[in-house]
Structure 1
Amino acid sequence: MKKEVQNDIVIMQQQKELAQLIEAFTGEDGMHPTAIPALRLLRASQKSQPIYSVHTPVLCIVAQGRKLVVLAQESYYYDPSQYLVISVDLPISGQVLEASPQCPHLCMLLDFHPDQIFDILKEADPSWRKKGDSKRGLFVSNSNASLLDAALRLLRLLDTPSDIPILAPLIIREILYRILQGEQGDTVKQIAIVSSHVYYIAEVIRLIKQDFAKPLEIDKLALSVNMGISSLYQHFKTVTAMSPLQFQKQLRLHEARRLLLTGVADAANAGFQVGYESPSQFSREYARMFGLPPISDMKRLRDLG
Structure 2
Amino acid sequence: MSEVSIKQQQELSALIQQFTPNNGVFETAIPHLFVIRYSKVSEPAYRVYKPSFCVIAQGEKEVFLAQERFEYGAADYLVASMNLPVVGQIIRASEEQPYLSIKLEFTHDQILEVINDANVRIIPNENAKRAIFVGQTEHTLIDATLRLLELLHRPDDIPFLAPLCIKEILYTLLKGPYGVTLSQIAMEGSNTYRIRESIDHLTSCFDQTIRVEQLAEAANMSLSTFHRNFKEVTGMTPIQFQKQLRLHEARRILLSESAEAAEVAFRVGYESASQFSREYSRMFGSPPRSDVKQLKEMYDPARSIVFLGD
TM-score (norm 1): 0.94
1:113 corresponds in structure 2 to 107
Q: What is the identity, as a one-letter code, of the residue corresponding to 2:164?
A: L
Q: Do the aligned partners of 1:53 and 1:254 also contact (CA within 8 Å) in 2?
A: yes
Q: What SS does the aligned partner of 2:35 have?
A: strand
In structure 2, the CA distance between the partners of 1:247 and 1:210, relative to structure 1 (3 Å rule), is same
2:173 corresponds in structure 1 to 179
2:278 corresponds in structure 1 to 284
Q: Do the aligned partners of 1:132 and 1:186 also contact (CA within 8 Å) in 2?
A: no
**Offset of 1:130 from its aligned partner?**
2.0
Question: What RMSD in Å do the two structures reach over aligned CA positions?
Answer: 1.4
Q: What SS does the aligned partner of 2:88 have?
A: strand
- Tell me how far apart the structure 1 counterparts of residues 122 and 188 of structure 2 sit (CA, whole Å): 11
Q: What SS does the aligned partner of 1:35 have?
A: coil
**Offset of 1:221 from its aligned partner?**
1.2
1:237 corresponds in structure 2 to 231
Percent of pairs with identical residues:
47
- Tell me how far apart the structure 2 counterparts of residues 247 and 301 of structure 1 sit (CA, whole Å): 24
**Offset of 1:132 from its aligned partner?**
4.0
**Offset of 1:131 from its aligned partner?**
3.2
TM-score (norm 2): 0.93
Q: Do the aligned partners of 2:148 and 2:166 also contact (CA within 8 Å) in 1?
A: yes
Q: Does 1:21 align with 2:15?
A: yes
Q: What SS does the aligned partner of 1:191 have?
A: coil
Query: Which residue among 261, 274, 282 is the counterpart of 2:268?
Result: 274
Tell me the alpha carbon deviations over residues 167-213 of structure 1, each in whole angstroms, 9 at most, x when there is no partner. 11111100011111111111100001001111101110111122212
The runs of 5 or more residues in structure 1 that have no matched partner are: none
Which range moved further: 128-137 or 34-43? 128-137
**Offset of 1:31 from its aligned partner?**
0.7
- Tell me how far apart the structure 2 counterparts of residues 59 and 202 of structure 1 sit (CA, whole Å): 17
Q: What SS does the aligned partner of 1:94 have?
A: strand
Q: Does 1:246 align with 2:240?
A: yes
Q: What SS does the aligned partner of 1:78 have?
A: strand
Which range moved further: 256-265 or 31-40? 256-265
Q: What SS does the aligned partner of 2:5 have?
A: helix
2:158 corresponds in structure 1 to 164
Q: What is the identity, as a one-letter code, of the residue corresponding to 1:133?
A: N
- Tell me how far apart the structure 1 counterparts of residues 118 and 229 of structure 2 sit (CA, whole Å): 27
Q: Do the aligned partners of 1:41 and 1:109 also contact (CA within 8 Å) in 2?
A: yes
- Tell me how far apart the structure 2 counterparts of residues 145 and 113 of structure 1 sit (CA, whole Å): 24
Query: Which residue among 51, 70, 86 is the counterpart of 1:92?
Result: 86
- Tell me how far apart the structure 1 counterparts of residues 176 and 225 of structure 2 sit (CA, whole Å): 29
How many residue pairs get matched?
Answer: 299
Q: What SS does the aligned partner of 2:46 have?
A: strand
Q: What is the identity, as a one-letter code, of the residue corresponding to 1:285?
A: E
2:75 corresponds in structure 1 to 81
Q: What is the identity, as a one-letter code, of the residue corresponding to 1:36?
A: I
Q: Which has the higher contact order (CA 8 A, sep 6+)?
A: 2
Runs of 4+ in 1 over 4 A off after TM superposition: none
Q: What SS does the aligned partner of 1:156 have?
A: helix
Tell me the alpha carbon deviations over residues 200-244 of structure 1, each in whole angstroms, 9 at most, x when there is no partner. 011101111222122221121112121111111110000011000
Q: What is the identity, as a one-letter code, of the residue corresponding to 1:101?
A: E
Query: Which residue among 199, 207, 217 is the counterpart of 1:213?
Result: 207
**Offset of 1:81 from its aligned partner?**
2.2
- Tell me how far apart the structure 2 counterparts of residues 112 and 285 of structure 1 sit (CA, whole Å): 32
- Tell me how far apart the structure 1 counterparts of residues 149 and 203 of structure 2 sit (CA, whole Å): 32
Q: Do the aligned partners of 1:129 and 1:193 also contact (CA within 8 Å) in 2?
A: no
Q: Do the aligned partners of 1:128 and 1:193 also contact (CA within 8 Å) in 2?
A: no
**Offset of 1:125 from its aligned partner?**
4.2
- Tell me how far apart the structure 2 counterparts of residues 21 and 94 of structure 1 sit (CA, whole Å): 23
1:69 corresponds in structure 2 to 63
**Offset of 1:123 from its aligned partner?**
3.5
Q: What SS does the aligned partner of 1:26 have?
A: coil
2:198 corresponds in structure 1 to 204
**Offset of 1:127 from its aligned partner?**
3.7
Which range moved further: 74-83 or 256-265? 256-265
